[in-house]
Amino acid sequence: MKKARYVRVDVFATKPFGGNPLAVFPEAEGLTSREMQLLAKEMNLSETTFVVPPTKGSGADFRVRIFVPDMEVRYAGHPTLGTFFVLAKEGRIKLREPVTTVKMEVKIGVMPVEIHSSKGRITKVVTVQNRPEFGRVFNDIGVLADALSLSESDFDPARMPVQLVSTGLPWVIAPVRSRKAVERASGNVPAFAKAIKPLPKDVVDIYVTSLDPVDRSSTTHSRGFSMVSGAVVEDPATGSASGCLGAYLVHRGLVPVSRSTRIVNEQGYEIGRASKIEIEVGKDAGGEIDSVRVGGPVVHMMDGVAYL
């Protein structure tokens, strides 16, 4: 019988039972792709990660394979933070305070990860995302409104157009006028499928957000909806979408912009897993976005062993 050790963490949380839960298999070299997929389905979390040796010549320190319950994905934010928290906590990364930078290999390439620490304690983990790519703008707001069970009047397309954005994983950024609209949103499966049908094959996610947070120290209040296995599911805290959101807000001038713009995105309130996601968007001397960082704290929740 094959054994596989895993660690459960809560990402973007300062205490247990908040943020976004993640299962990390830190020693997954002996697992097949099929076994990884079955374990991810068994965990039934938004993502499960498997740490394996990096591809020869990649220059990475670790290779991380990221699975949702029904497929492997190219990159994701909260799994990156949780995985490298576990690797650092277990001593597989030598910490150099205040910030240790390591390289992660995922399907979209090799990406830096920053581990912040003080007096031997990990304070937060930051995923350094790709430069943003701004895709199509959605002119048919009715389709998006139906997908989120909202009305067209909840949107302000002239000021805040709905747009496809990617900083590693593409998300449809769907700003609405108020937090009440965010709170009312829910996935309508047939309309959701219709809304994402004309998009590239890997785009199955819509991020509804407003500049009307619960906590006045935050910038935005958001919810992430995805089409998974024929159903619409909600993510408690989404690192990849937060990077897209930060880039979008800076690109559109919807927040005060500087060479380094800091944004706090709150998520998960509606499903009882309040999260705070830190976003930093940097600009070069020419005014172009040249860096997107997403980070936050991680809480160690539990340990276990899977028997295959």
Which residues belong to the active site? 47
* Beta bridge partner(s), residue 125: 115, 296
**CB contact burial 182-220 (16+ within 10 A = b; e otherwise):** bebbebbeebbeebbeebeeebbbbbbbbbebeeeebbb
Whether the upstream peptide bond of residue 256 has omega within 30° of 0, thus cis, is: no
Our CA dihedral for 214, 136, 45, 181, rounded to 10 degrees, sits at: 30
193 contact partners, CB below 8 Å, separation of at least 6:
227
CA atoms within 13 A on the CB side of 287: 4
First to last CA, the chain: 6
Our CA dihedral for 223, 182, 197, 78, rounded to 10 degrees, sits at: -10
189 contact partners, CB below 8 Å, separation of at least 6:
227, 230, 231, 232
Q: Is the dihedral of CA 236, 239, 240, 241 positive or negative?
A: positive
